[in-house]
C-alpha cells in the first residue's frame, strides 16, 4: 500500500484514510465531522465535468470536495 493524497486517486480506486492534514482548522474539523477519520475506507467516484471538484464515497454516502481539499487527506492507496 502506497501513501498518497486523496486527490491522486483515480475514479474506482480505494484508499484508507491515515489523517487529515489541512492547515485551516475549520476545514479539518469539517472533513473529520463528515466522517473522514483515520482508518476509514474511501473511494474516488468521479471528477466534476471541469475536473474539479471530485466526488468520493465514504461511510456509505457521497461527498464532493475540491482537489485542494482532497490534497490534505492522506490515504494509503489500496491495490
Partner 1 sequence: MNPVRTEKQLRHIAIIGNPNAGKTTLFNALTGLRQKVGNYPGVTVEKKEGRIVFDDGHEAILLDLPGTYSLTANSPDEKVAVDVLLGRSKYTAVPELVICVVDASNLERNLYLISQIIDNRIPTVIALNMFDVAERDGLTIDTGKLSEELGVKVIPTIGSKGVGIKELKRAIAEPSAPSLKSRQWKLPQPVQEECDELKGMLQKIHHLAEPLAFHEAIVLLTSSSALAEHNDHFAPELIDHVKKDHLHLERLGIDRNSVFVESRYEWIKRVCASSVVSKRRSVSSTSDKIDRILTHKVWGFVIFLGLMVLMFQAIFSWANAPMLLIGDAISWVDSQIILIMPPGDLRDLIVNGAIAGVGAVVTFLPQILFLFLFIGFLEDTGYMARAAFIMDRLMSKVGLHGKSFIPILSSFACAIPGIMATRTIENRKDRLVTMLVSPLVSCSARLPVYALMIAAFIPPHHVLGIFSLPGLTLVAMYLLGLVAALTMAWFFKKTLLKSETPAFIMELPPYKMPSLKSVILHMWERSKLFLERAGTIILGVSIVLWFLATYPKVDHGSPAERLDLSFAGRAGHLIEPVIRPLGFDWKIGIGLIGSVLQREVFVSTMGTIYNIKDAKDENGGASLQDHMRHDVDPRTGLPTFTTLTAICLMVYYVLAMQCMSTVAVMRRETNGWKWPMFQVGYMTLLAYSVTFVVYRAGLFLMALHS
Provide the binding-site residues for partner 1, judged by CB under 8 A. 19-20, 24-35, 37-38, 40, 45-46, 48-53, 55, 57, 59-66, 69
Give 3 or 46: the residue with its C-beta nearer to partner 1. Answer: 46
Give 8 or 43: the residue with its C-beta nearer to partner 1. Answer: 43
Give 4 or 63: the residue with its C-beta nearer to partner 1. Answer: 63
Please tell me the distance from the alpha carbon of residue 30 to that of residue 11, in angstroms, as a whole number.
23
Q: Determine the distance from the C-alpha atom of residue 1 to the mean position of all C-alpha atoms in its chain, rounded to a whole number.
A: 16
Amino acid at each position: 500500500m502506497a501513501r498518497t493524497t486523496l486527490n491522486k486517486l483515480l475514479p474506482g480506486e480505494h484508499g484508507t484514510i491515515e489523517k487529515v492534514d489541512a492547515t485551516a482548522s475549520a476545514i479539518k474539523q469539517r472533513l473529520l465531522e463528515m466522517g473522514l477519520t483515520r482508518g476509514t475506507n474511501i473511494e474516488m467516484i468521479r471528477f466534476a465535468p471541469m475536473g474539479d471538484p471530485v466526488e468520493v464515497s465514504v461511510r456509505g454516502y457521497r461527498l464532493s470536495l475540491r482537489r485542494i481539499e482532497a490534497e490534505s487527506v492522506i490515504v494509503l492507496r489500496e491495490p
